[in-house]
Structure 1
Amino acid sequence: MELVYPPVILSCKALFRVLDLRLDLRGTEHVPTSGGAVLACTHVSYLDFVFCGLAALPARRRARFMAKQQIFANRIAGPLMRGMRHISVDRSAGQASYREAVAALRGGEVVGVFPEATISRSFTVKPIKTGAVRMAAEAEVPVIPVTVWGSQRLWTKGHPRNLTQRHVPVLIRVGEPFRPAPGDDPEVLTKDLRSRMSALLDTAQREYPEVPPPGEAPFWLPAHLGGSAPTPEAAAETENPETGAAGGR
């Protein structure tokens, strides 16, 4: 019996109503009503796991997200994360969390992952890790690309959170699933996944209903769309100044 997840969902929905967020969710028919699946989501804000999780609700599924160990250590968030059966990731010993995720997938769970590992300061899709496609191939379940756009206006890296801002449009798009097979090249699969995630994000950005006035360059828009967010190259340099690239696998 789920004792923690349902009231957390209700609380989040109540907050959305208070803020009068303009949620626009499309493509949920791609989430299977039974069996395991990997939700591979873009990452532009600290709230993306909440919005990505909404993508599974129409199919009456509850996603189990892989999240960094520090969140589980928090005295408030930790019990909630464990109660919702999310998966703790210790980056110094990632194999244990990987095995836990594969077991959850084989057990019929929907597992949510952020293949970029950290928030994209450029609001484009960063280079992604191979874990999402490898665990899907091992568990023989589909990967479903997801994007969230607009959530960065509420709370993102390098900017103060603004959870009192009302009427913010948040677009959630779910793409068509694809099923990696054991023996497939994970690098090729990961390149395909990144292309799918980028296409979804591009679509959400084009469909976003708010356009800044001429001459204004808001922080929440990527540079290539006229915003003041750093370019992917500048963001990578900020994250890893020695190599000019953001992390490894």
Structure 2
Amino acid sequence: MAELVYPPVIGFARTMFKVQGLRFDIRGTENVPREGGALLVSNHVGYLDFVFCGLTTLPAKRLVRFMAKESVFRHKVSGPLMRAMKHIPVDRSDGMHAYAHALEALRRGEIIGVFPEATISESFTLKSFKSGAARLAMEAGVPLLPMALWGSQRLWTKGRPRSLGRTRFPISLRIGEQMRPHTDEKAGALTRRLRLRVQELLEDAQRSYPGRPAGPDDRWWLPSHLGGTAPTPEAAAERDRERQAAR
């Protein structure tokens, strides 16, 4: 079936990125399969991560169907677009429908994108990974594509004002080699191995990142272990617990 919405949306996004002056450093696109199903797994630091992650598969002429929270699909603007691009809504109170939808798409040969941390990491470090990605890949018999991105938090992230003008911010993305389970490997072990690989890719993106703080008051987007003023992982986890308790 022809893709009537996805390609124009990509074209619009690329135009907006040029207007903003964004600079991309993307490495590892040769690891994206040219055909067949795969599960793209990334860290999550900003609201636009799915847009940037989707750029990594374009050299292979592939589109990514992302799993995203259901509220995005209820929005009057984003909802129709998300459905037309065949992304997958996730009801966090009952994720089995989304799991079945993603499993069917993987078996059909699609690339599915997931953020196994489930929510944006306010510390900009890796949170724990949920095992759903590993279980999906194992059941569908498809490879995992580990990846990491860095710099997107400077545009729009949780608890910060958006910065969507002409920012000229660098955005770095790294795609690792495909991963498959070892013989008799369980989902938990594969999840731990996957998280370790994403951590390695993230550290590579951070080491080579060309952007620097504009001054002493512009260190909010750096994690504490890199000299920034972002919340520590412990403080960020406490914020998450407080939000959950307030719901």
Give the shorter-chain TM-score range.
over 0.9
Q: 1:241 to 1:167 in 2, by over 3 A?
A: same
Question: Structure 2 counterpart of 1:104, which letter?
Answer: A
CA shift, 1:126, in A, is 0.3
Answer whether contact 1:116 1:129 (CA < 8 A) is retained: yes
Q: CA RMSD in A?
A: 1.7
Deviations 1:125-145 (A, max 9, x none): 100100111000000000011
What residue in structure 2 maps to residue 60 of structure 1? 61
Residues 1:17 and 2:13 aligned together: no
Q: Which runs of 5+ in 1 are unaligned?
A: none
Q: Compute the displacement of 1:184 (Å).
A: 2.7
Deviation for aligned residue 1:42: 0.6
Equivalences for residues 1-249 of structure 1 within 5 A: 1-180=2-181, 184-212=185-213, 218-241=219-242
Cα shift at 1:216: 5.3
Distance in 2, Cα, partners of 1:99 & 1:147: 26
- Amino acid in structure 2 at the alignment position of 1:186: A
Partners of 1:28 and 1:222 lie apart in 2 by 27
Aligned residue identity for 1:184:
E
Same amino acid, percent of matched pairs: 55
Secondary structure, counterpart of 2:145 in structure 1: strand
The 8 Å contact of residues 39 and 110 in structure 1, kept in 2 or not, is answered as yes
Which amino acid letter does the alignment assign opposite residue 57 of structure 2? Answer: A
**Paired residue type of 1:84:** M
Amino acid at match of 1:69: E
**Contact 1:42 / 1:114 at 8 angstroms: preserved in 2?**
yes
Counterpart of 1:129, as a letter, is: K
How many residue pairs are counted as aligned between the two chains? Answer: 244
Q: Distance in 1 between matches of 2:240 and 2:111?
A: 30
Task: Tell whether the 8 Å contact from 2:39 to 2:137 is kept in structure 1 after alignment.
Answer: yes
- Please list the CA deviations of residues 6-30 of structure 1 after superposition, one character each: whole Å capped at 9, or x if unmatched: 0000000000010110111110000
Residues in 2 aligned to 1:183 and 1:110: alpha-carbon distance in whole angstroms: 24
Aligned to 1:240, what secondary structure does the other structure show? helix
Question: Higher mean Cα deviation, 56-65 or 162-171?
Answer: 162-171
TM-score w.r.t. the length of structure 2 is 0.95
For residues 27 and 97 of structure 1, the distance between their equivalents in structure 2, rounded to whole angstroms, comes to 28
SS of the equivalent of 2:189 reads helix
Is the contact between residue 36 and residue 110 of structure 1 (CA under 8 Å) also seen in structure 2?
yes
Rounded Cα–Cα distance in structure 2 between residues aligned with 1:155 and 1:213: 17
Question: For 2:34 and 2:115, how far apart are their aligned partners in 1?
Answer: 22
Q: Is the contact made by 1:65 and 1:87 (CA closer than 8 Å) also made in structure 2?
A: yes
> What CA deviation, in whole Å up to 9, does each residue of 1:39-62 have, x standing for no partner?
001100000000000111110000
Taking the aligned partners of 1:163 and 1:51, their CA distance within structure 2 comes to 14
TM-score where L is the length of structure 1 = 0.94
CA distance in 2, matches of 1:60, 1:179: 22
